[in-house]
Amino acid sequence: MNNLLQEVENSKAEINNFSTTDKNPAEVFRIQFLGSKGLIKSLMGEMKNVPAENRREMGQVLNDLKLFAENKYEELKKTSDNGQETTGSEVDLSLPGEALPLGSRHPISIVRNKIISIFQRLGFAVAEGPEIEDDWHNFTALNLPENHPARDMQDTFYVSQNPDWMLRTHTSSVQVREMKKGKLPIRIICPGRVYRNETISARAHCFFHQVEGLYIASDVSFADLKQTLYFFVQEMFGNTIKVRFRPSYFPFTEPSAEMDITCLICGGTGCNVCKHTGWVEILGCGMVHPKVLENCGIDSNKYSGFAFGMGIERITMLKYQIKDLRLFSENDLRFLKQFTSAV
Ligand code: 2NL
């Protein structure tokens, strides 16, 4: 009787300290303690040797031990169901998770997307192309003469493997590719990164972002150009804005112009931003040069078109009053977080 009690005590300790490296601890436990050849069954078998007057008491002790083992078994089943090695009490699954930090769009992306959506409403489609271009698509097709400074090693990044290759200096090369496809009319905008070998300063960088636009059909006029760009700036900056066109020169357009808008800071009365003129330049534009159309296989007697190009950095700086262009590429979260929106 005392021996059996001692065995029960030992078994209790064994159950309590049970551990195994097996993948299924509950099953190992069940076989060892609760199975038909398990420890508890064999202790029950000893009952026949217990004197009759102690049987009731001993039966109670063994039943308690069985209950103890069954509880342990349930506990082991729960933890192996979770696939965890720890017991449930150590991990509180009801605690809320750690909040992920919310990111935000880069200001250049915000402004690019806005420009795209305005022109899409006018029926312009987005076209994209390679950032490494050959001389013909980037320069020759666009009527950029052999001696043009943009072609100089000082102004363009050439690719050392092939002297004909370079990082595109504008997204006009994408428009050249679209014209070469021969499907008319064309009404596209070409957003993208472009590269120029400039000394980095508050106003210039060796790469920036552009949106160029091109509309070619029969009878496209300078009036179409003016109205399209006027609509664009009204949508972009508000409908109190005024515009003016100044004659300019680009090898790929004739006539060419630069478009100014009334200064966003002072409203036209004169301030530092507009250098006291009341106007700020936002883009270059013009009627596509007939030579460019012919270079791309388009009959310049049947078709005409306008084109324009703007730097996204410049528009963004004006819109958000950003004074230094280098902020766009420095990944400083104190700068970028200011553009976090609610959605
Ligand atoms: C600027 C000025 C301009 C164009 C880009 C263009 C493209 C083709 C044919 C003719 Cl395929 N023109 N693009 C025309 C005038 C100005 O960009 O200041 N860009 C930042």
Domains annotated for the chain, with CATH where assigned, are 2-84 (no CATH), 107-336 (3.30.930.10)
75 is in an annotated binding site: no
Residues touching ligand 1 (Cβ under 6 Å) are 172, 175-176, 210, 212, 214, 250, 252-253, 284-286, 288, 292, 307-311
Residue 84 has pLDDT above 60, yes or no: no
- Mean residue pLDDT across the chain: 92
Residue 101 — pLDDT band, cuts 50, 70, 90? confident
Predicted pLDDT at 153: 80
Mutate which of 181, 308, 317, 325 for ligand 1? The one with the most ligand atoms within 8 Å of its CB, which is: 308
Work out which ligand 1 atom sits closest to the CA atom of 309. Answer: 17
Q: Which pLDDT tens digit goes with each residue over 300-317? A: 999 999 999 999 999 999
Helical H segments across the chain, by residue range: 2-16, 25-29, 39-45, 52-81, 107-121, 135-138, 172-180, 222-237, 290-295, 312-320, 333-336
**Amino acid code (one letter) for 219:** D
> Which residue, judged by its Cα, is nearest atom 8 of ligand 1?
172
The encoded tokens of residue 7 equal 């065995």
Contacts 24+ apart (CB under 8 A), 45-48: 46/4, 46/7
Distance 40 CA to ligand 1 centre (A): 90
Distance 306 CA to ligand 1 centre (A): 9
Q: Which pLDDT tens digit goes with each residue over 120-163? A: 999 999 999 999 999 999 999 999 978 888 788 889 999 999 99
Predicted pLDDT at 343: 47
The winner for highest mean pLDDT among 5-9, 35-39, 74-78, 136-140 is 136-140
Residue 81 has pLDDT above 70, yes or no: no
Predicted pLDDT at 87: 54
Mean pLDDT of 197-204: 93
- Rounded Cα–Cα distance for residues 242 and 261 (Å): 6
Distance 287 CA to ligand 1 centre (A): 9
